[in-house]
Structure 1
Amino acid sequence: MNPTPLRIRKAAVLGAGVMGAQIAAHLANASIEVVLFDLAARQDPKNGIALKAVQNLGKLSPAPLAEKSRAAGIIPADYDEHLAQLHDCDLVIEAIAERMDWKLELYHKIAPALPAHAIVASNTSGLSINTLAEALPETLRTRFCGVHFFNPPRYMHLVELIPQRATDPAVLDALEGFLVTALGKGVVRAKDTPNFIGNRIGVFSILATMHHTQQFGLGFDTVDALTGPAIGRPKSATYRTADVVGLDTMAHVIKTMADTLPDDPWHGYFKSPAWLEALITQGALGQKTGAGFYRKAGKDIVVLDLARKDYRPSQQKPSDALAAILAIKDPAERFAKLRASQEPQAQFLWAVFRDLFHYTAYHLADIAETARDVDFAIRWGYGWKLGPFETWQAAGWQQVSAWINADIAAGKTMSKAPLPAWVTDGRTGVHGSDGSFAPRSGTHLARSTHPVYQRQIYPDALLGERFDQGQTLWENAGVRLWTLGDDLGIVSFKTKMHTVNDAVLDGVQEAVTRAERELKALVLWQSSEPFSAGADLKGALGLLQAGKIDAFEAMIANFQATSMRIKYALVPVVAAVRGLALGGGCEFQMHSARTVAALESYIGLVEAGVGLLPAGGGLKEIAVRCAQQAAGGDSFDFVKRYFETLAMAKVSGSALEARQMGLLRESDVVVFNSFEVLHVALRTAAALADSGWHPALPARAVIVAGDVGTASLRMMLINMFSGKFISEHDYEIAGRIADTLCGGDIERGVTVDENWLLKLERKHFVALAQMPKTQARIQHTLTTGKPLRN
C-alpha cells in the first residue's frame, strides 16, 4: 500500500541560528511558507532575532536562498507573541542548540499550540530522539522523529531520518517522500544512537586523522593535501573543514561522543587534542573568527605550525613517493603499496583508512540497518566519492581485512577490538547485485521499495551497481540515441564535460530526424553532470589557428542549425538539465519545447568570458523573447534587462535564479531532486506529445530596438569603460552583443526574422574569433580553466 503523500502548506522552524534559518530558507526555496521562531528580543520588535536571521540569509555564501525573493516566504516570529502561528503548521522542525535541557523546555512550551495533524521533528545532530519524545504529550509522539539536515542544508544531499519507539511508520514514509521530492534530499534511516550514522562515522574519521597527524608529525596543510581530492574527498579536506564548521562546534561534537559513548572501545580517543583546545581558548574558532588552523594574511593563506607556535605559508602537496602511489588506478594495488611503503605520508594514509574501516565494521550492526546506509550517509553528508565500505571493497575486501587483523594483533590499531566475524567469512564485500549487507539478519537487503524511488530511474549508484542502460537506437561519435523500451527517445552526449563538437551537432540533428519518424518525443539528458559545458573550445581554436575561417564559420552555422532543429522539431524536445548548462548547453535548452531543470542547475551564456558572444542561437532567441514580451511594442526595456547578464557572462546560482534571469521560461519545470530530473522530463515530453503538441510558427516578425537601442546600450558601456569596470576588449564584445540583440544597423521598431538575427550572431562571432585578444582568452581558459580579462 502506497503511503499517503505529505502535503505541506505551512511549516515552522524553531530556532533562528545558522542551521534553523537555513532550513527555513530551503523550505522557502520549495515554495513553502515557513514561520521562523526564536526567543523574544529584549527590545522591540520582539521578533527581532528571527527578523535579523532572515535578513542575514542574503549575505551568506554559499547562498541558502535559491533566489533572493524567496526570503519573503519566511515569517519571523518569537515564542512570547506568536505561538498561535503554530496552529496551522503541517510540519514543525526544532533546530535550537544541542542542549537536551533547552530542547525539553521548549517542547513543553510549544506542545499546547501544536495542531493534532502536525509532524514534529528535531534537527538534533546526535541527541537521543527517544529522550526528546518523552517531553511531548503521548498523543504527539506518534508524529515525532528526528530529521537531521547536514550543513549547509540547501546543498548537502543527506538527511538522516530517525524514528523513536512510538513513531508511526506511516509518518516516516510520508516524511521520507516529502524530503526526497519536495526538498531534493537523499534520506538515510538511522537508529537512535549517539550522533546517528553520518557524524558517528564522519567525526570518528576526523578524530583518527587528528590522532595520526600527531603520530606521524605531519603539518595540517600536508594532511589536507592527503585527505582531500587526492583520495576522493572535498577540497576542504580535514582541517579546512574543521575551520568552516567551527572549532568550538567540532569540540562540542567530540565531547558529545565522549559523554554518550562511554563503552565504545575507541572511547579514549574521544577528546579534543591539546592544540585544538588551545586554539579555542585563544578565540581562534575557524572561519567565523578569521583564524583557526588557517588564516588569511593579505592575499595569502597561512597555516598553523605547532613547532613554531605561529602561522607559516601553506604548502599543500603530497610527497613525490605518495603522489606516485595515489596515481595508481587499481585500488587493490594502490592500497597494497600504501601499506608496504615506509614513507610517513603513505603510512599515515594507510593508518587513517585502516582505523576507519575497523571502526565502521565494528559498529555497523549498532548504528545502521545496512552497509548501504553508512556509505550513503558519508557520501551525501561529507561529500566523499566513495563511502568507507565501498573503498574497502574496491581495495580487495579479504586482503584488506587480513591486513587490519594483522595490525590489530601487532597493536598498531587505535583499538584492540576484534573485527566482527562476518568481515572474514569469505565475502568479497558488502555490496552486490542482491543488495547490501544487513548485519542483524546476516543477509543482503535490496534498496527501499518506497514509491518515491520509482521516480529515480538512475539513482545514485553504489560501487558495482549497474542499472538498465536502455536500448540503443542509433549513435555516432558524439551522441547516443536510446530508449527505455518505450516510444520516448533519449539523447546523451559522449564528449568530455558533454561539450558540443561537430559529432554532437550532427548527432543531435540526426536524432531529431529519427524521432520525427519513429518516436513520440525526445529528451536531452546526460547520465552524469554537467548537462553541457558548452562548445568545444579546443577544436574551435584549432580551426582559427590553422586559418580555416570558412570551416569555423560553417561550424557556427551548423550549431545554429542544430538549435533551430531542436526548436522546430515535429516532436517535442525536452532538455533535462542538472549542473552546468553553459554557452551552447544553455542555448540548446533555450530552444527546447520545455526545460526540466534540477534546482542546482547553473545556467548561463558565458561566451563573453572567452572573448566571444553567444552564436548558437542564444542572442537570437533572447531578441525573440524580448519582442514577444513587448507584445508589439518597444522591446528595448526587455533587451536592457538581458544585456548586462550577457555582457558580464553571468551564470545563475540556481534554476530558480535562471528563470528570473530569463534563461528559463515560466513554463519550464524546476525539480529539487536531481535524480528525479529524467523521470519528470520523460513525463513532461509524453504529456506535450499527448496534448497534440506542434512547434510554434517561425518567428518572422520580430520587432527590434534597432540602432537607437544599440546606441543606448553603448552609452552604458562607455560609462563602464570610463570607470574602468570593463576593458577595451570587453567593450568591443559587449557592443557586438548589443548590436545583435537590437537587430543591427536598422531603424527602431523594424521587424526582422530569425534568420536575420542568426546572420548577425555569425558575423560578430567570426569577427571576434579572429581577434588576438579573443584567442588569448580562449587559450587562457583552456589552460587554466579561468577567464582572462584582457
Structure 2
Amino acid sequence: MSEKLLVRRAAVLGAGVMGAQIAAHLTNAGIDTVLFDLPAKEGDKDGVVRKALANLAKLSPAPLSSKSLAESIVPANYETGLAELESCDLIIEAIAEKMDWKQDLYRKIAPHVPAHAVLASNTSGLGINALADVLPEELRHRFCGVHFFNPPRYMHLAELIPAKTTDKSVLEGLEAFLTTQLGKGVVYAKDTPNFIGNRIGVFSILSTIHHTQESNLGFDEVDALTGPLLGRPKSATYRTSDVVGLDTMSHVIKTMADTLPEDPWHEYFASPKWLTALIDKGALGQKTGAGIFRKAGKDILVLDLEKQDYRASDRKAADEVVVILKSKDPAERMAQLRASEHPQAQFVWSILRDLFHYSAVHLEDIAETARDVDLAIRWGYGWQQGPFELWQAAGWKQVADWIAEDIVAGKTMSSAPLPDWVFDGREGVHAAEGSYSPSKNAKLPRSALPVYRRQRFPDPLLGERFEQGETVYENDGIRLWTDGDDIGVISFKTKMHTVSDHVLDGIQEAIGIAEQKFKGVVIWQPKEPFSAGADLAGALGLLQAGRVDAFEAMVENFQKTSQRIKYSLVPVVAAVRGLALGGGCEFQMHSARTVAHLESYIGLVEAGVGLLPAGGGLKELAVRASEAAGPNGDVFAELKKTFETIAMAKVSNSAVNAKELGLLRNDDIVTFNAFELLHVARQQASALAEAGYRPPLPARAIRVAGDVGIATFKMLLVNMLEGRFVSEYDYEIAERIATVLCGGDVDRNAVVDEDWLIRLERKHFVELAQQEKTQARIGHMLKTGKPLRN
C-alpha cells in the first residue's frame, strides 16, 4: 500500500513565469505556499518575489482562481528565508534550465529539507538522474521530476519522471496528490531529454517547419491546415509558437540538438534562419507584439519569407483539402491525403507520416506504453488524438506499409527503419485490455492505484469503452441512468446541453422516478459544457411565428423545472464543469448542492441577448438576499453585490470566482480533477441523503427592497448611461432586472412569496422577448456567437 503524501505546506523555488504560476495553482488548491527567489540587490530582500506576485494579476489566462489569493503566497529568498523550507512537505524547484544552477541550489537547500519532504524538479528536459547525483544520500529516494505544462492551472498534463533512486511509494503518493489535489493527468516518463510531451510535440513542430519550407507554403496557410481541421487547437503551429515565445522555442530546439546527438533526426534539430533573424530583431512573438504574426490595428499580418516583410494573413486551406480533412472515415482521409497531388494535402500527409515514424522509433526509449505518449500529447498540447491513436484509426497495417515505402523512396526525414513490432501482424497499439509496451512486449492495463477508482469515466483512448450504466428513463432531451447503486444520474442529450422542452419535461419526469427509486440524483454531463442555457433558436422561432402563448408556456415550464429541482424530496446535486450559462446556471442554483470543477464558467448572461434570467434565477437571488439580511438587515445591500453581475451578464473565470459573484453558494464544493467530478457529486448526494435530507420549506416571507431599491438602482444606471458604459436598451433591460430583484413596485421591506417573484420574472421576460431589439440580439448571437450592443 503506497503512503499518502500529506501536503500541509509547499515551497516553490524560482519565481519566474513558471514557478510563480505553479505557486499560484498550489494556492488555488488551498495549499499554504512559499515562493522563493534570489534576494533583491537593494531594499526588501523578498522584492524579486513580491514583484512576481504583483505580476500574477496581469497574466491572461489568470493563474489564480481569485485575485485575492495572491496575498496568501509567502514571499521568501535564498539568503534569509531558507528556514521556511523546514515546515514544508513538498518542494518544487522551477529555476532556469541550467544544470549547474540547479545543482548549486540543491546543495544550498539540502540541509533545510525535512526528513519526510518530497523534492521535485519542474525541469522541462534536463536529466533527473544527473540532478539527483548532487543530493545527500538520505534525500535521493524522495527526489524526482514533475514537469507541469504551461499554463499550469489550465494544462491537464503533469509528467512524473523517476530517478533510479526514487522510492515507488513516494511516486505513488505524489501521483495521487497531483491527480486529486491539483487536478492533473499524470503520465510517467523515462529520464530522456524533453521527456514525452515536448520530445514528440517539439518534433512535430520541427517537422512542420521543415515541410513548410519544402512545400513552399505560407505560415498562415499551415496554421489553417494544422488547427481544428487536424483536431488540434485554434492556435495551430505558428500562432502557438508566437504565444510560447520564439526565444523559448529556439531554446527548446537547441536543448534537443545538444542532448540528442544520436537521434536519427538530429540534422533537423536547428532553428531555421528566419527564426534566428526574428529573435535577433527582438520580434519574439506575442510578448513583444510581433513574431511570425503581428497586429496592425485590427488587421493580422504574417511574415512572408519571399518578400522578407509582413503581408495580410489571408491564405486559407484549399477547398479540396478541407473536403478530405473533414471526411468522417480516418482511413479514407489518410488514403486521399497520400494520393492527392495538391501541395497542401502532400504537406499534411508528410507531417503525419514523419510524426508516426518518429513516435514509433522512440516509443521504447521515452515511455512505458503508447498510452503515455498519446495522453501526454492530448493533455500537454491539446490535440484531440495522440499520434498512435491517429495512426491506428487510419488503419495500422496500411499506414505502416506506406511509411515503409516512403522510407525506401527517400521521402521521409530520416532513413531509420520502423521497429519490428510495428509489423508483427498487429492492428494497432490500443485495445480494451490495455496499451502496447515495447519493453514488456505486452498490452498493459491502466494504473490500478486507488486514486483512479474515483474516475468513473477516465479520458478514453481509442478502443477503450467504459460501461455506460443502466438506463432507467430516457426521452429526446435527457437520460436517467444508474450504476445499480442508490444514486441516479441525469445527463442531457442536446447539442451544447442546451435546455429544450424535452430537457425540461425529462428532468421533471426523472426527478419523480428518483424520488421513488433512489436516495439522490446528480445532474452530470459526460463532456463539457454543463449547459449553454436555453434553446434560443427554438424560442426565437416561437416569437417570430407570433406564438407568444406557447413562448410564455415554455418559460413557465422552465420555472416549474427549476422549482422541481429545488423541492425534490431527494437531494439533487449539480455536477458543473465548463460553461453553465443562463438556464444551466439557474438549474445549479436550485439544486441542493453544486459540485463545480475549478474550470467552471458560470453566469446569468440573458442581458447579452436582450432578456433577463427567468428560470427562477432572479427569484433565487431575491430569496438569498432576504435570508442573508435576516429580519432586520439591509436587503438592498445584499442585492447590490449581485446586481451588476446580472445586469452586465458577467461570467465567472473559475468556480471560486463564481462564489465571489454570488452564483455559487459558500458551501458548494470546488473540485480540481474534471474526471473525479461525478464521483464527488455522488458522494455529496449520498451524504445529504444519509443525513436525512429534506428540501427547504417554501419561501413565503421574502423581504424585498421594493420601490426604494428600484429607484436606487436606477440612479446607478443613469450614471452608467450618461458615462456611455451602457446603451439605452441595456438600461431598459437592467431596469427590469432591478424591478424583479427588488420585488416590483411594492413598499420597501414588503414581504412577498416565491410565486409573486416567479410571475414578475416571467412577465418582464415575455415583454422583453417581444421587442424588436431583443429579437435582433438573439438572432445576432445565433448567427455569430457574439453579443450585439444595440
Normalised by the length of structure 2, the TM-score is: 0.99
Q: SS at 1:11's partner residue?
A: strand
Question: 1 CA distance for matches of 2:113 and 2:524?
Answer: 44
Match of 1:772 in 2: 772
Match of 1:619 in 2: 618
Q: Is 1:384 aligned to 2:383, yes or no?
A: yes
Q: Which amino acid aligns with 1:120?
A: L
Q: Determine if contact 2:582/2:605 at 8 Å carries over to the other structure.
A: yes
Q: Is 1:671 aligned to 2:671, yes or no?
A: yes
Report 1:96-111 matches (<5 A).
Answer: 96-111=95-110
Q: Determine if contact 1:490/1:523 at 8 Å carries over to the other structure.
A: yes
Structure 1: unaligned runs, 5 residues or longer: none
C-alpha deviations, 1:155-211, integer Å up to 9, x for none?
A: 000000000011010000000000000000000000000100000000000000000
Match of 1:311 in 2: 310
Q: Determine if contact 1:232/1:384 at 8 Å carries over to the other structure.
A: yes
Match of 2:704 in 1: 704
Match of 2:685 in 1: 685
Q: SS at 2:576's partner residue?
A: strand
Match of 1:748 in 2: 748
**TM superposition shift of 1:316:** 4.7
Q: Determine if contact 1:706/1:745 at 8 Å carries over to the other structure.
A: yes
**TM superposition shift of 1:287:** 1.1
Q: Which amino acid aligns with 1:781?
A: M
Report 1:142-541 matches (<5 A).
Answer: 142-541=141-540
C-alpha deviations, 1:380-439, integer Å up to 9, x for none?
A: 000000000000011111111010000000000000000001111111110001100000
C-alpha deviations, 1:668-721, integer Å up to 9, x for none?
A: 110000100000001110111011000010110000000000010011111111
Q: Determine if contact 2:28/2:69 at 8 Å carries over to the other structure.
A: yes
**TM superposition shift of 1:300:** 1.4
Q: Which amino acid aligns with 2:343?
A: P
Question: 1 CA distance for matches of 2:757 and 2:218?
Answer: 59
Q: Is 1:641 aligned to 2:614, yes or no?
A: no
Q: SS at 2:426's partner residue?
A: coil
Question: 2 CA distance for matches of 1:713 and 1:309?
Answer: 57
Q: Determine if contact 1:224/1:316 at 8 Å carries over to the other structure.
A: no
Question: 2 CA distance for matches of 1:423 and 1:654?
Answer: 44
**TM superposition shift of 1:4:** 2.3
C-alpha deviations, 1:738-765, integer Å up to 9, x for none?
A: 0000000000000101111001100000
Q: Determine if contact 1:704/1:751 at 8 Å carries over to the other structure.
A: yes
C-alpha deviations, 1:105-125, integer Å up to 9, x for none?
A: 111111111111110000000
Match of 1:629 in 2: 628
**TM superposition shift of 1:71:** 1.0
Q: Which amino acid aligns with 1:260?
A: T
Question: 2 CA distance for matches of 1:743 and 1:59?
Answer: 39
Match of 2:713 in 1: 713
Report 1:529-678 matches (<5 A).
Answer: 529-632=528-631, 633-678=633-678
Q: Which amino acid aligns with 1:124?
A: T
Q: Which amino acid aligns with 1:740?
A: V
Q: SS at 2:560's partner residue?
A: helix
Identity %: 70
Match of 1:125 in 2: 124
Q: Which amino acid aligns with 2:692?
A: G
**TM superposition shift of 1:5:** 1.9
Q: Which amino acid aligns with 1:651?
A: V
Q: Determine if contact 1:533/1:582 at 8 Å carries over to the other structure.
A: yes
Q: Is 1:44 aligned to 2:47, yes or no?
A: no
Q: Which amino acid aligns with 2:769?
A: A
Q: Which amino acid aligns with 2:141?
A: T
Q: Which amino acid aligns with 1:90?
A: D
C-alpha deviations, 1:555-606, integer Å up to 9, x for none?
A: 0000000000000000000001111100000000000000011000100000
Q: Which amino acid aligns with 1:551?
A: A
Q: Is 1:761 aligned to 2:761, yes or no?
A: yes
Match of 1:789 in 2: 789
Question: 1 CA distance for matches of 2:16 and 2:326?
Answer: 43
Q: Is 1:69 aligned to 2:68, yes or no?
A: yes
Structure 2: unaligned runs, 5 residues or longer: none
Question: 2 CA distance for matches of 1:74 and 1:668?
Answer: 24
Q: Determine if contact 1:31/1:73 at 8 Å carries over to the other structure.
A: no
Q: Determine if contact 2:218/2:315 at 8 Å carries over to the other structure.
A: no
Number of aligned residue pairs: give it.
789
Q: SS at 2:59's partner residue?
A: coil
**TM superposition shift of 1:634:** 2.2
Match of 1:35 in 2: 34
Match of 1:140 in 2: 139
Q: Determine if contact 1:144/1:167 at 8 Å carries over to the other structure.
A: yes
C-alpha deviations, 1:501-558, integer Å up to 9, x for none?
A: 1110000000111111111111001111100000000000000001110110010000
Q: Which amino acid aligns with 1:654?
A: S
Q: Which amino acid aligns with 1:345?
A: Q
Question: 2 CA distance for matches of 1:4 and 1:669?
Answer: 26
Q: Determine if contact 1:142/1:166 at 8 Å carries over to the other structure.
A: yes
Q: SS at 1:547's partner residue?
A: coil
**TM superposition shift of 1:73:** 1.7
Q: Which amino acid aligns with 1:770?
A: Q
Q: SS at 1:127's partner residue?
A: coil
Question: 2 CA distance for matches of 1:529 and 1:156?
Answer: 16
Q: Determine if contact 1:634/1:703 at 8 Å carries over to the other structure.
A: no
Question: 1 CA distance for matches of 2:315 and 2:244?
Answer: 20
Q: SS at 1:598's partner residue?
A: strand
**TM superposition shift of 1:223:** 0.7
**TM superposition shift of 1:53:** 0.4
Q: SS at 2:618's partner residue?
A: helix
Question: 1 CA distance for matches of 2:418 and 2:642?
Answer: 62
Q: Determine if contact 2:641/2:662 at 8 Å carries over to the other structure.
A: no
Q: Which amino acid aligns with 2:248?
A: T
Name the Cα RMSD after superposition: 0.7
Q: SS at 2:177's partner residue?
A: helix
Question: 1 CA distance for matches of 2:399 and 2:72?
Answer: 52
Q: Which amino acid aligns with 1:663?
A: L
Q: SS at 1:670's partner residue?
A: strand
Question: 2 CA distance for matches of 1:728 and 1:154?
Answer: 39
Match of 1:732 in 2: 732
Question: 1 CA distance for matches of 2:551 and 2:315?
Answer: 42
Question: 1 CA distance for matches of 2:5 and 2:767?
Answer: 56
Q: Determine if contact 1:705/1:743 at 8 Å carries over to the other structure.
A: yes
Question: 1 CA distance for matches of 2:461 and 2:42?
Answer: 53
Question: 1 CA distance for matches of 2:11 and 2:379?
Answer: 25
Q: Which amino acid aligns with 1:537?
A: L
Q: Which amino acid aligns with 2:609?
A: V
C-alpha deviations, 1:321-362, integer Å up to 9, x for none?
A: 211211211110011000000100000000000000000000
Question: 2 CA distance for matches of 1:600 and 1:516?
Answer: 31
C-alpha deviations, 1:78-129, integer Å up to 9, x for none?
A: 1111111101011100000111111111111111111111100000000000
